[in-house]
Amino acid sequence: MDSSARWIPRATGRFEFEQARLSDAAIRRKTDMTDLKGQGVQMQELLGLRFPPVAIAFRASAPPGMRRIDSPAPAGCGYWRRAADGEVFYTEARDHYTCPVGAHTHGIDLPADVAEQLNGLVQTMVQMQYISMEEIPRIPRRQGAFGVALYAPLTGAPFEPDVVLVRGNVKQLMLLAEAAQSAGLASGGATMGRPTCSVLPEALQSGRAATSFGCIGNRVYTGLGDDEGYYAIPGVHVTEVVSKLALITDANRRLEQFHQSRAN
């Protein structure tokens, strides 16, 4: 045995090892947060986004120090806009009761009175021929128990996102879709419509990017423009998509010049 090790108590050595390991973990967390900020900045700059990408995560409980939303939004998608405006917060299940359809897509178990509202709303939509009863079971729904949902702009997120939501115009979403396709993460399904919030469980459960044209409720609650939609990227794949995005945007600039020279 090395003589230098004999005088160090085993417990002390273990403590020192644990301290070093915790320090390494803290460094990794700091690096991860720096990476998130960089990815958010890159997406904004490469695409010229009007609103920053939003980080969303689902956890059993809120991180220490994070505030709960001060007042419920009319719909869950309203929280997207608040995060894009720079707020960092979390919501509980009851903060989603104002939109029974959104609560359903988020995997929230509704109390009897709210479930009755959902059924009434669905029946109204069916009567208006906005949706059919056959479509309802096919609406994506987040799996697992709902604890809290965390929201923040990606550039300032103090947590690892489960999904990153990008709001953009058709050209911006085109570039994102090409980057995701280049990364092997393009959605295998059609572009989604109502309800807009179903794009979150679709991306979460498929492990692939998902596109949504939005819905009329979302457009009212978020001010989504007529030429805008959403692109949802699983959080674990954001780095891959962003790395491809720089190449895709550069290639598109060159190809635009090429096509313009031919058109003229």
- Three-state SS across 19-38? HHHHHHHHHHHHHHHHHHHH
pLDDT digits (tens, 9 = 90+) for 131-177: 888 887 788 899 999 999 999 999 999 999 999 999 999 999 999 99
pLDDT of residue 8: 35
Other C-beta atoms lying within 10 Å of the C-beta of residue 68 = 11
Query: Residue 180 corresponds to which amino acid?
Result: A
Strand-by-strand arrangement of the 89-92 sheet: 89-92, 148-153, 54-59, 163-169, 228-234, 210-212
Q: CB under 8 Å to 3, separation ≥6 — which residues? A: none
Other C-beta atoms lying within 10 Å of the C-beta of residue 184 = 10
Say whether pLDDT at 125 is over 80: yes
Q: CB under 8 Å to 102, separation ≥6 — which residues? A: 75, 76, 77, 96, 195, 197
pLDDT digits (tens, 9 = 90+) for 53-68: 999 999 999 999 999 9
pLDDT of residue 101: 83
Helix/strand/coil for 219: helix
pLDDT digits (tens, 9 = 90+) for 210-254: 999 999 999 999 999 999 999 999 999 999 999 999 999 999 999
CB distance 54 to 80 below 8 Å: yes
- DSSP label at 107? T
Say whether pLDDT at 31 is over 50: no
pLDDT of residue 63: 94
Helix (H) or strand (E) holding 92: strand 89-92
pLDDT of residue 123: 85
Measured over the CA atoms of residue 83, residue 89, residue 95 and residue 100, the dihedral's sign is positive
Averaged confidence pLDDT in the chain: 84
